Structure 1
Amino acid sequence: MTATVIDGKAIAARMAAEVVAEAAELAQAGWAPRLVSISVGDVAAAELYVRNQRRQAEAAGVDFEARNYPETISLEQLTGVLAGLNADPRVNGIIIQRPLPAHIPVKSLQKAVHPLKDVEGMHPSSIGNIVYNDLALGPCTAVAAVEILKSLPLRVEGLDVCVIGHSEIVGKPIAFLMMGLGATVTVCHHMTRQVAVHSRAADAVFVAVGKPGLVTGNMLKPGAALIDIGINRVDGRTVGDADYESCSQVAGWITPVPGGVGPVTVAVLLKNAVLATRMQKDHYSAAFQAAG
Structure 2
Amino acid sequence: MGQIMKGKPVADKITEELINEVEELKGKGVNPKLSIVRVGARPDDLAYEKGAISRCKKIGIESEVIELPLEISQEDFISELIKLNEDAKVHGILIFRPLPKHLDEEVIKYQIAPEKDIDCLSPVNEGKLYEGDDSGFPPCTPTAVMEMLKFYDVKLKGKDATVIGASNVVGKPAALMLLNERATISVCHSKTKNTAKVASGADILVVAVGRANFVKENFVKDGAVVIDVGINVVDGKLCGDVDFEGVKEKTSMITPVPGGVGSVTTSILAKHVIKACKLQNNL
TM-score (norm 2): 0.96
The unaligned stretches of length 5 or more in structure 2 are none
Partner of 2:127: 128
The unaligned stretches of length 5 or more in structure 1 are 286-292
Cα distance in 1 for residues equivalent to 2:42 and 2:201: 41
Deviates further, 159-168 or 64-73: 64-73
TM-score (norm 1): 0.93
Partner of 1:88: 87
- 1:30-179 aligned at under 5 Å gives the runs 30-136=29-135, 137-179=137-179
Counterpart residue identity of residue 94, structure 2 = I
Partner of 1:196: 196
Partner of 1:288: none
Cα distance in 2 for residues equivalent to 1:192 and 1:209: 13
Cα distance in 2 for residues equivalent to 1:109 and 1:31: 29
Aligned residues: 282
Deviation for aligned residue 1:99: 4.4
Cα distance in 1 for residues equivalent to 2:3 and 2:118: 31
Counterpart residue identity of residue 63, structure 1 = E
Deviation for aligned residue 1:107: 4.2
Cα distance per residue 1:175-222 (max 9 Å; x no partner): 111111111111111111111221111110001010111111221111
Partner of 2:210: 210
Cα distance in 1 for residues equivalent to 2:223 and 2:110: 41
Cα distance in 1 for residues equivalent to 2:108 and 2:213: 33
Cα distance in 1 for residues equivalent to 2:105 and 2:157: 35
Counterpart residue identity of residue 53, structure 2 = R
Deviation for aligned residue 1:263: 1.3
* % same residue: 36
What stretches of structure 1 move > 6 A for 4+ residues in a row? none
Alignment check: 8 A CA contact 1:46 1:99 kept: no
Deviates further, 228-237 or 129-138: 129-138
Deviates further, 100-109 or 203-212: 100-109
RMSD value, Cα? 1.4
Alignment check: 8 A CA contact 1:162 1:205 kept: yes
Cα distance in 2 for residues equivalent to 1:144 and 1:24: 23
Deviation for aligned residue 1:45: 2.8
Counterpart residue identity of residue 8, structure 2 = K
Counterpart residue identity of residue 194, structure 2 = Q
Cα distance in 1 for residues equivalent to 2:130 and 2:165: 18
Deviation for aligned residue 1:111: 2.9
Cα distance in 2 for residues equivalent to 1:23 and 1:54: 15
Cα distance in 2 for residues equivalent to 1:59 and 1:109: 31
Cα distance per residue 1:53-97 (max 9 Å; x no partner): 111111011001112112221111110111111011100011112
Alignment check: 8 A CA contact 1:43 1:99 kept: no
Cα distance per residue 1:26-71 (max 9 Å; x no partner): 1221221100111112333322221111111110110011121122
Cα distance in 2 for residues equivalent to 1:233 and 1:263: 17
Counterpart residue identity of residue 47, structure 2 = L
Cα distance in 1 for residues equivalent to 2:164 and 2:98: 23
